[in-house]
Chain A
Amino acid sequence: MTKFLLGRLVSGVIVIVGVSIFMFFLARVIPGDPARLALGPEASAAQVEAMRQQMGFHEPYVEQYLRFVGGAVNFDFGRSLYTDNPVSQDIAATFPATLELVIFAGLAMTLIGGAMGIASAHFKDRWPDNSARILSLLAVAMPNFVWALFLMLILSFWLGVLPLTGRLSESLAAPPAFTGLYTVDALIAGEWQVFLDALAHIVLPAVALSLPGLAQISRLTRTNMVDSYDRPFVEFARAYGFPERSIALKWALRPAIIPTLMILGMQIVALLGNAFIVETIFHWPGMAKYGVNAIVRKDLNAMVAVVMFISVFFVLINMLIDTLVSFIDPKIRLKA
């Protein structure tokens, strides 16, 4: 087991180093002068040149890269050319909002998608299955932002049951920062009203963000559960009178859930990417929006830092998932 995790860690580090090299050079070879873009058309040539000197853009790439790595391991990614803050400070300010969104969307995706898949397989070809099928089809066929606008229109604008945008109502102050996740911080501080308000704010963006992944997880779980139900070990369970509930949630589910878990890692990371659209629509002050703005403005340091952050997140999530899978699938665990 330790060997297995160590192997995963090593390959994770390789992925992160690879991404860092790729991103670092990519950011420097794409056309456009970052200093000019940052300072605007009004700046004089001397000012632009001064900034280029200051950022070290004249040095050889390898030297620049080594300096970058030296900073990055200390969580120092340099200054943003645009906000003029240290990039790490910008990320610290925006990442918790995105993380909170991704956690909620990830939970919705896994739990609702999984439950839909299980129910679909259990009631195969009956109404719960058929409605889940239509729902998944719609969730995949309509892009995130359409769903986001659609949900906003119905639940916020017409029915008024959920707030339209933002992380918190303006009348409320953010809870004392501890994790940066408003819902969690509010619970820690015991501020119920803030918790409920933050929860109400996150429902719509999280649901809109989760839908494509939710549909995919539901379909995959259904397929594998249906396959599982046809296997002799389920007939065995029935022949020995195991309760139908334990067949659905244990004996048939456990073997069927492995492929779902395997794509879960990728789905969660995809949430980070898709978060940009949702963050923009819901005015969610998150890192995805920050990252896309950095790319548009060619804010080199911010761009590289955000991508590094996402790749570290990806590696961590996948290690977590791999560990989980190895606990559930003995064939993987025993081979390791």
Chain B
Amino acid sequence: MHELLHISNLNLTFETHDGPVHVLHGVDLSVGAGERVALVGESGSGKSVTARAIMGLLPDRRVRIAGRIGFEGADILREPPARTKARRGRDITMIFQDPMAALNPVFKIRQQFTAVLDRVDRRLTGQEAEEHMRAALRDVSIVDPGRVLDSYSFQLSGGLNQRVMIAMALASRPKLLIADEPGTALDVTVQQQTLNIMGNLSQAYGTAILFISHNLGVVRKFADRVCVMYAGRIVESAPTDALFADPRHPYTRALLASVPRLSSDRLPEPIEGSVPDLSKLAEGCPFRPRCQLSRPECDAPVPMRRDAGRSVACIHEASAA
């Protein structure tokens, strides 16, 4: 598959008043054209920061960043910022967690959508833009686009707002759509509906999706491949079916065990302990303090083991597999 996004050895540090916080440690991640990749992990594992680094949305004054973020051959970290900016809203777009908050409360949907379209094609006349918007809204199963365009976000339901966001995100037929916990703020059935709409349309347009989530259940139905993130590292990456059938990293296993299941009497098992403090993180496996298999050797740097489209960062992997 033609590779669209290729992140290698991405390191990122926030400068704070209490000293540097190492948020990302050598993240490797790639998304092929049209592929759906899920980035899964607990809060604070670095998922959203990775997404914002791809968009170039991090405040450069407080952030030190190293490594490579390749997008269609260009290196986002080394190209002029204007190039990264030019890509936003055209080649890469983004969907946010809470659609209601992401839409501006004092502008009508029409004004915001027009501004989005203005980025896609400046030459559109008012009439063309209007038709474009109505068609895009119908594509996300909105039956009365005129009314929605005339509304403010607070007049629409969460599900409608989310569909408006999807329509805006796909208006430019982007190559990559970053969905940052889409619909987490919505109720489950509405979330599922909107995800289906997003999935179907992106497939039709050939848009790749980087799907950020902490919900493994949602990811299973949606993604081609899953990358599990922990404390600023990708600890395991595998095709979705393979990951769910045979999770190899102890953290992935723990994460799967913590998901409640309706079809089973087994209670979900919480993961003991909490995400480590990123300001004082040692070498070696970050999951070690919470891992049942931990051994003294886990303190040494962990190499990424790769085979047959899977990779996992655990020294137990060689013996366990």
Contacts and interface: CB of A to CB of B under 8 A. Distances in A.
- Say if A and B assemble together: yes
Interface of A: 231-233, 235-242, 246, 251, 254-255, 258, 328-331, 334
A255 B104 contact: yes
A329 B106 contact: yes
Given A239-B88, A239-B94, A231 B57 contact: no
Contacts of A241: 85-90, 119
Contacts of A231: 101
Contact of A255 (B89, B96, B102, B106): B106
Contacts of A239: 55, 57, 88-89, 93-94, 96
A232 B106 CA distance: 14
B102 A233 contact: yes
A240 B93 contact: yes
B321 to A, nearest CB: 40
B115 A242 contact: yes
A238 B103 CA distance: 12
B98 interface: yes
A262 to B, nearest CB: 14
A114 B89 CA distance: 30
Contacts of B205: none
Contacts, number: 71
Interface of B: 55, 57, 85-90, 93-94, 96-98, 101-108, 115-116, 119, 152, 154-155, 168
21 contacts: A233-B101, A233-B104, A235-B57, A235-B96, A236-B96, A236-B103, A237-B104, A239-B57, A239-B88, A239-B94, A241-B85, A241-B86, A241-B88, A246-B115, A251-B107, A254-B107, A328-B106, A330-B105, A330-B108, A330-B152, A331-B152
The 5 tightest CB contacts between A and B, nearest first, are: A241-B88, A240-B89, A241-B89, A239-B94, A232-B101
B115 A232 contact: no
A236 B102 contact: yes
A238 B102 CA distance: 11
Given A232-B96, A232-B98, A330-B152, A238 B88 contact: yes
A238 B57 contact: yes
Contacts of A251: 104, 107, 115
Nearest to B152: A330
Nearest to B98: A232
Nearest to B118: A242
A144 B88 CA distance: 49
Nearest to A126: B61
**Do most interface residues of chain A lie in helix, strand or loop, or is the interface mixed?**
helix
Contacts of B88: 238-241
Contacts of B108: 330
Nearest to A125: B61
Among A233, A254, A329, A334: residue with most chain B CB under 10 A = A233
A332 to B, nearest CB: 10
A284 B98 CA distance: 56
A120 to B, nearest CB: 16
Contact of B106 (A240, A246, A330): A330
A136 B289 CA distance: 51
Contacts of B89: 239-242
Contacts of B119: 240-242
A233 B104 CA distance: 5
A164 to B, nearest CB: 46
Contacts of A238: 55, 57, 88
B101 A255 contact: no
A325 to B, nearest CB: 11
A329 B104 CA distance: 11
A166 to B, nearest CB: 44
Contacts of A331: 105, 152, 154
Nearest to B116: A240
A236 B112 CA distance: 10
A331 B106 CA distance: 8
A182 B155 CA distance: 49
Among A328, A329, A331: residue with most chain B CB under 10 A = A331
Contacts of A235: 57, 96, 102
